[in-house]
Structure 1
Amino acid sequence: MPTGHAASASPVPRASPPGGATPDPAPPAVIQGGMGVGVSGWRLARAVSLAGQLGVVSGVALDAQLARRLQLGDTGGHLRRALAVFPDREAASRILARYFVPGGIPPGRPFRPVPRPGLRPDRHRDELTAAGNFAEVWLAKEGHGGPVGVNYMEKIQLATQPAVYGAMLAGVDHVLVGAGIPGEIPGVLDALSTHSATELTVAVEGSDARHTAAFDPGGLAGAGAPPLIRPRLLAIVSSAVLAVYLHRSPATRPDGFVLESHTAGGHSAPPRGRRAPGGGEPVYGPRDRIDPAKVAALGLPFWLAGGRAGRRSVADARALGAAGVQAGTAFALARESGLEPGLRRRLLAEGAAGSLPVRNDPLASPTGFPFKVARLSGTLSEDGEYERRPRLCDLGYLRTPYLKENGAVGYRCPAEPVDLYTRKGGAAGDAAGRRCLCNALTANVGLHQHRADGYVEPPLLTAGQDLGFLADLVREAGTDYSAADVVRYLLAE
């Protein structure tokens, strides 16, 4: 297993200081969004961290990304360098033996599959998930002392614990969690910092009983490992009400909040008022506005997100009591982004020209949350491309557990074949218009699956709905701007 150069991070987990949480001398003014599958990769997070702000890697589907990049030959040897210091040496060896292909698989050959998330324990799945998160965070932190965070969707409950643990083994400084209510995450972080087994409540449709996903770190940290530094938790919320709810108990209280408006890219919370009929875009009103003053009164640091990439955004946010802003799309279009370069250039060019429609689609995501879809030719944003795609669900990150008639737990996804979905008790109407985000977002970063019949999974891009900043940013920093350029732009007065 090649190590490249001398490792700059120790495979021995760091010990936790008194109090458990990692020191945070000054909250960052800018948090880079943890976007999509691989868009916020280690290169982008590293660049933002080196610029003095909080770089964030996306923790979604890092098991599949690790497996596929190894099958492509691991150009540059970065993943193998990270796996060379993964504490569980036997697990690292098993992963390399199973997935690494010297020189890469031939063009057009399908990737070897990875185990799908589920309630039933699967040691190989847990090892791959932990190792994928470890590698991404370790590479983002390699060779410098700047802060690095990792972003998760609470909706993807079945993969959370091994993913978080892998990131913690790499010394992650912040954990950000959105798309749900992360009330149990503080306890998970506490337990994993001492390498203890954990349980996380999993919602099972049709069941009134409590179901849990269990995870035992076992030997992943190595024998006699010291306690880990507990990362700080930032809850991504869309209302002051949820922030107040999480703050009221030490058991659910995060270390800060990201207040995300409905204009942010990716998923957004559904409106609390009326909705447009016939599949129109959700209608947001006064009840959906976040009151920063109510969050400021809680005494925890918070950041504003969604439409906060303008030149004075940081100063304006601080005037409202915030520590700064979280920005996504501006960083997603930077040269260090994980987006496939051709897609990134097209998205940037059309966004800067003001000709990129971004629809808040209430049907696209299997989660049921509205999802911002950037309309770009050759992607699943086009109805014809969507209709040509054979429906299937083989990655399974957004599957919903449900209670079967025999009392067992099954899994269904409204993006899978409609007849299969309805046989599992799903309503046919719920499957209409659903895109397979798992495969499409993986294709966005050049890891598209090739099917045995020759079909290649197409991408589906997202962006924030407020792109007014792009033309100004491009005028200042050019069409191949860097993450550091974005930081300078956001901090400019």
Structure 2
Amino acid sequence: MRHADLPVVIQGGMGVGVSSWQLARTVSAAGQLGVVSGVALDTLLARRLQLGDPGGHLRRALAAFPAPQVAERVLDRYFRPEGLPQGRPFRPVPRLSLRPRPQAVELTVAANFAEVFLAKEGHGGVVGINYLEKIQLATPSSLYGAMLAGVDYVLMGAGLPTEIPGLLDALARHLPVELPVAVEGADAAERHTVRLDPRELLPDHPPLRRPRFLAVVSSASLAGYLARSERTRPDGFVVESATAGGHSARPRGRMALDAGGEPVYGERDALDLAKVAACGLPFWVAGGQAGPRPLALARAAGAVGVQVGSAFALCRESGMAGSLRQRLLRDAAAGVLAVRNDPGASPTGFPFKVAQLAGTVADPQVYAARPRRCDLSYLRTPYRKPGGGVGFRCPAEPVDDFVRKGGSAEQAVGSRCLCNGLTATIALGQRRSGDYDEPPLVTIGQELEFLAGLRQRAGDDFSALDVLHHLLTQE
């Protein structure tokens, strides 16, 4: 790839629905890489259809889906023209599993297609989609749906995505695929996979264009490991520091916590961009890059450009609920916004950035009052049952259930349900009995100094185009 053909700015694929198709479309139409979040799109599609699909955008996307009978089944199951009555819970979607039911596969494929279709609609720019390697059970179906919509880039972090290049090659030709799934406690001889046969959805379809794959890594050593083999080599890297929002890599070596209970990162965790550049693949730098000076420094170090998340998460086109976005901006302007890199909040075991906002799951009282449950279950961990077979457990589920499945009570302490919390952050939280709605959980980066300059340029309610102007205009 020639660097001249690549976007300078990648808009990060954040949270659950924060990187919406509206945001990605705006950035892509402006000539940079807009990215939609690929996490939990099946749930988002189902819930938005149940709310009546305001504007008709999802129905327009599903009308373009290349398997009309699949789109019809999704609409029949979830679309409610009149919307849900006040307080009525959303109809659940099937949980991820090693052997997903056909309706689960169809919903996931259709949801990823719809999000990418809408992000690409009406312009000639490039669009990406971001996934978590941890959510392996959804990966084949998600990728295939995005590819059917012509996604240009796939980004993946929160793990080591060694299988993705080969998966993209096979799916572009509609070949059956098997993705190995990590199962805790499994014997070395055991092999667990999740399968997808695209021909069961589309028996006769021309080959797809293979998207470029960017691996999100936290160190030069991980980049070098992936780049050394043709089987695992991506088309480029996003190299992310520990200050970026969402999940962070654990510090290298023994975990140490500071006085506030946050992980301590040292010299071993610093990004060695010269070593990343030596891999010979294009790369972008992420984490605290929201300004013209960080962009210039990244390019001087050999990067194509930067990936920026928090600035876009706080813009008008963000999928975050407007009230939460405005609270973040007000608190940041007043100098009272705290963002904690919580080592125990995420069920994945990776440190996770949590904005400390009253009324959200970051609030100890809200956390204590929320009944523990695991019904969306994207971050459940497969484990080998003592008598054989595979079960699923999550530190955020009821503690007794987690311990019964072989987990430890200590591991469950402080664990937040990211799936329900992040979904509530975009105003699609589940409605529970007793007039209880799932509270939000907000993630954002820890370096927000860019806001002063951005506000000076564009005011308090800035757009995605204002963010791009801020990044690409020299001071």
| TM-score above 0.5, yes or no | yes
1:264 aligns to 2:244 (yes or no): yes
1:422-441 CA-to-partner distances (Å, cap 9, x unmatched) read 11111111100000000000
How big is each residue's C-alpha offset from its partner over 1:79-130, in whole Å with a ceiling of 9 and x where there is no partner?
A: 0000001111111101000000012011110000000111023111111001
Q: CA deviation at 1:24?
A: 8.5
Whole-Å separation in 2 of the counterparts to 1:336 and 1:348:
15
Q: Which residue of 2 aligns with 1:17?
A: none
* Partner of residue 236, structure 1: 216
1:252 aligns with 2:216: no
Percent of aligned pairs sharing the same letter: 67
2:72 aligned residue (93, 105, 113): 93
Does the CA-based 8 Å contact 2:132-2:156 persist in structure 1? yes
CA distance in 2, matches of 1:121, 1:419: 27
Identify which of 167, 177, 182 aligns with 1:188: 167
TM-superposed deviation, 1:172: 0.1
Match of 1:482 in 2: 463
Partner amino acid, structure 1, of 2:472:
L
Q: Aligned to 1:417, which of 395, 398, 406?
A: 398
Name the aligned partner's letter for residue 454 of structure 1: D
Alpha-carbon distance between aligned partners in 1 of 2:335 and 2:305, rounded to the nearest angstrom: 26
Q: What are the within-5 Å matches in structure 2 for residues 255-294 of structure 1?
A: 255-277=235-257, 280-294=261-275
* Map of 2:158 onto structure 1: 179
Taking structure 1 as the reference length, the TM-score comes to 0.94
Aligned ranges for residues 11-410 of structure 1 at < 5 Å? 26-208=5-187, 209-220=190-201, 222-277=202-257, 280-410=261-391
Deviation at 1:418, TM superposition (A): 0.3
Q: 1:308 to 1:25 in 2, by over 3 A?
A: closer
For residues 53 and 202 of structure 1, the distance between their equivalents in structure 2, rounded to whole angstroms, comes to: 34
Matched residues in 2 for 1:134 and 1:107: separation?
Answer: 29
**Does the 8 Å CA contact 2:357/2:363 hold for their aligned counterparts?**
yes
Q: Distance in 2 between matches of 1:135 and 1:67?
A: 12
Query: How many angstroms does 1:25 deviate by?
Result: 6.1
Is the deviation greater in 222-231 or in 168-177?
222-231
Checking the alignment, whether the CA contact within 8 Å between 2:395 and 2:411 is kept in structure 1 is yes
- Number of the residue aligned with 1:462: 443
1:317 & 1:51 partners in 2: Cα distance? 21
Counterpart for residue 13 of structure 1: none
What is the aligned residue count?
471
Show CA shifts across 1:11-33 (max 9, x none).
xxxxxxxxxx9x99611110000
Deviation at 1:299, TM superposition (A): 1.3
Q: Write the letter of the residue equivalent to 1:492.
A: T
Partners of 2:106 and 2:169 lie apart in 1 by 20
Q: Deviations over 1:438-486 (max 9, x none)?
A: 0000000010101123211000101111111112111211111110110
For the 8 Å contact 2:26–2:464, the answer to whether it is kept is yes
Q: Secondary structure at the match of 1:265?
A: coil
**Which position in structure 2 is the counterpart of 1:427?**
408
Displacement after TM superposition at 1:223 (Å): 4.1
Contact 1:312 1:492 in 2 (8 A): no
Q: Deviations over 1:366-406 (max 9, x none)?
A: 00000001011110011000000000000000000000112
- Aligned residue for 2:199, secondary structure, equals coil
Equivalent residues of 1:353, 1:471 under 8 A apart: no
Structure 1 CA distance for aligned equivalents of residues 125 and 235 of structure 2: 19
SS in 1 for 2:437: coil
Name the aligned partner's letter for residue 366 of structure 1: P
SS at match of 1:411: strand
1:279 shift after superposition: 8.1
The gaps in structure 2 that reach 5 residues or longer are none
**Alignment check: 8 A CA contact 2:3 2:282 kept:** no
Q: Shift in Å at residue 351 of structure 1? A: 1.9
State the alpha-carbon separation in 1 of the partners of residues 54 and 162 from structure 2: 39
User: Does the CA contact (< 8 Å) of 1:273 and 1:285 recur in 2?
Assistant: no
- Cα distance in 2 for residues equivalent to 1:279 and 1:312: 30
Structure 2 CA distance for aligned equivalents of residues 304 and 47 of structure 1: 21
Asked whether the 8 Å contact 1:72–1:104 carries over to 2, the reply is yes
Work out whether residues 31 and 55 of structure 1, in 8 Å CA contact, stay in contact via their aligned partners in 2. Answer: yes
Question: Is contact 1:88-1:219 (8 Å) kept?
Answer: no
Code of the residue aligned with 2:154 in structure 1: it is V
CA contact (8 A) 2:289 2:306 kept: yes
The farther-off stretch of 469-478 and 188-197 is 469-478
Question: 2:450 is matched by which residue type in structure 1?
Answer: F
RMSD: 1.3
Contact in 1 for aligned 2:3/2:304 (Cα 8 Å): no
Kindly indicate whether the alpha-carbon contact (under 8 Å) linking 1:197 and 1:216 is maintained by their aligned counterparts in 2: yes
Query: SS in structure 2 opposite 1:218?
Result: helix
3-state SS in 1 of match to 2:215: strand
Q: 1:157-211 CA deviation, whole Å, 9 max, x = no partner?
A: 0101100100000000000000000000001000000011111111101102221
Q: Deviations over 1:194-246 (max 9, x none)?
A: 011111111101102221111111243x3421100000000000000000000
Letter in 2 for 1:372: K
Equivalent in the alignment of 1:491: 472
Provide TM-score, normalisation by structure 2: 0.97
